[in-house]
Amino acid sequence: MKNRVRLFLVLSFCLFLGFAPFVARGEGGGEVEFFPQELPNPQPPLESIQDYWDIFNVSNSVRESYLDGAAWLPGEDLLFFQYRLAQIDLGVLEPWRRPQSDLDAFDNFSAFELNRQRFDLFHLRGTLKNMTKLRAPEEALERYGVSEYFLCDVELASGRTIHLFCSQIPRHFLKFGKQTPEGIQVGANAIFLKKGEGNSFYMLTTRLAWYPDSELGNAEFDYGLLDDLDREEPEEDAKSPRRRDMRLTMRNRECFYQMMAAAARISSDEYEEIIQKNRENAPKERFEPETSFSSVRPFFSNPLAERGNFFHLHGLARRITMVRVDDEDIQNRFGITHYYEIWMYCDEAPQQPIAILTTSLPPELSPGGGSGFYADISVPVFFFNTWTYKGRDEKGETISRYAPLLIGSCPKLTQPGEPFDWFWFNVISITLFSSIMAICTVFYCYSTHKDEFFRRREHDRRFSLPNGQSLNEVGWDVVAEPDFTNWGAEPEPEPEPKSEDSPTSENVEEKKNSKNSDKSNKSKKKNKSKSKKR
């Protein structure tokens, strides 16, 4: 009984909570708003990076603690801003950045105006001159998770030197040692910290971008993002990526879309120049035998060394699928709303599929697939990575398969004509089948008609009357009357069949004829013998 009462009370309380907002009324009869219709936004939208710093109470006293016109001082903090800057998504960060040309106006700013511009975000692009590794204080490891960082001297096109603090640099730069090669193009989204000695500035970024002198580097693809394809630095003698680094994950998302956007920025005329340059300068072993198209052997022999390299492939596309991109930050930053996944087979490896991703297709080529779909195409591409995907074996079980994954531009049809159209094949097949069936039907009807004609002709010959004779003359209508004279008499016995030995008139006549023939034959023989004696 007690359990029932408790259950009733609990249900009553739940029903009261569910229906109270709808049935409650105040004294004046108006509805009581238990919950507001629209919750107030606790944080206004951020219009600039300065609004972001205001959230963390970066006051004027913090800005004034940086001494302009002097070298970097130990008390000036940078790890806090580096830590908070890394927490901003690139989709939010990039609209806040200003061009590096705005830095030139800082030379004429007063201290008050510089404090207002301090910690603003700028997009830098320059040449790396020097790089130094610095150790962070011991408390920084526990507070910010940083044990070391780098100080890179970058020279802008205007000749200004930027002392750039960064927490991450391309893995390739670690091999430079004390001597930094000349002409390395780098870039960064950096915040302004303070003015240094002369015309130098101190700035800060989370990662240093690398733009080598290559097709993708000139299209503003950061080659340092290729480090994100590997969770750890591969060994020096490694020729293939680890199996766990072959999947498309959030870790390599930025590298994937940046390469796709860079490949789309290159115009068709620039691709023609790149193809011609590649034919003239690339070694012959990188081409297919007796063709001017690139070989696919490097994809399988040493894929780690081919990341970001250019290839001009030719093959047979057997499936084209459109993939939609619903991420707003990718759409806003790169303008990529979809891309096409092309599964192609080359002559060198007819059994090995190659996955090619491109943002556009020619007008005469549309997505499709199936046993009757194919398109002979050529496409300029860049090698991304070896890709693992889910497939099925001969038994129908799900297994992991591997294929080279490349990102390229709009393909071209290398042969006139479109992918095989089954419509005309079906029309021709149906026409031929209908014609054969019609011929068979006509032949059957004709043979049946001849059989009927033959049957009628034989019937008329056997059962029809001679010409000029009627049925009245035949006498078929004359019926004899029944004869009842011998009614009740015993039937006469049937005559016994005559045997062959019994003498009949016919037999007697036959015997006489045979005797007469024998006598004539004997007389003829006697006459012949007499004539011979004479």
Tell me phi and psi for residue 20, to 5 degrees.
Answer: -60, -40
> Using CA atoms, how far apart are residues 309 and 298, in angstroms rounded to an integer?
10
Three-class secondary structure of residue 503 per DSSP: coil
Q: Two tokens at 34?
A: 């238990």
Check residue 503 and give its pLDDT: 52
List, for the chain, all residue ranges whose pLDDT scores fall below the cut of 50.
Answer: 17, 19-42, 416-419, 478, 508, 530, 533-534
Task: HSE, CB side, 13 Å, CA atoms: give it for residue 223.
Answer: 23
Q: How many other C-beta atoms lie within 10 A of the C-beta of residue 446?
A: 10
- The residue to which tokens 């490896």 are assigned: 349
8 Å CB contact between 406 and 381: yes
The answer to whether 364 touches 320, Cβ cutoff 8 Å, is no
pTM: 0.69
3 state DSSP class of 124: strand
Closest to 422 in 3D by CA, of 363, 376, 369: 369
Measure CA 28 to chain center. Answer: 65
Q: pLDDT value at position 410?
A: 92
**Predicted local distance difference test score (pLDDT) of residue 461:** 63
Three-state secondary-structure class, residue 150: strand
CA separation for the pair 343, 357 (Å, rounded): 9
3-state DSSP helix/strand/coil % of the chain, to nearest 5: 40, 20, 40
| pLDDT at res. 466 | 66
* 398-408 and 375-392 beta bridge pairing: antiparallel
pLDDT of residue 421: 58
**pLDDT score of 143:** 87
Q: What is the pLDDT of residues 176-219, one digit of tens each?
A: 877 888 899 999 999 999 999 988 999 999 999 999 999 999 99
Query: How far apart, in whole angstroms, are the C-alpha atoms of residue 500 and residue 415?
Result: 98
Pick from 354, 352, 388: nearest CA to 246: 388
The pLDDT, as a whole number, for residue 66 is 94
- The pLDDT value given to residue 23: 39
How confident is the model at residue 236, as a pLDDT? 75
Q: 3-state class of 168 per DSSP? A: strand
Q: What is the pLDDT of residue 355?
A: 94
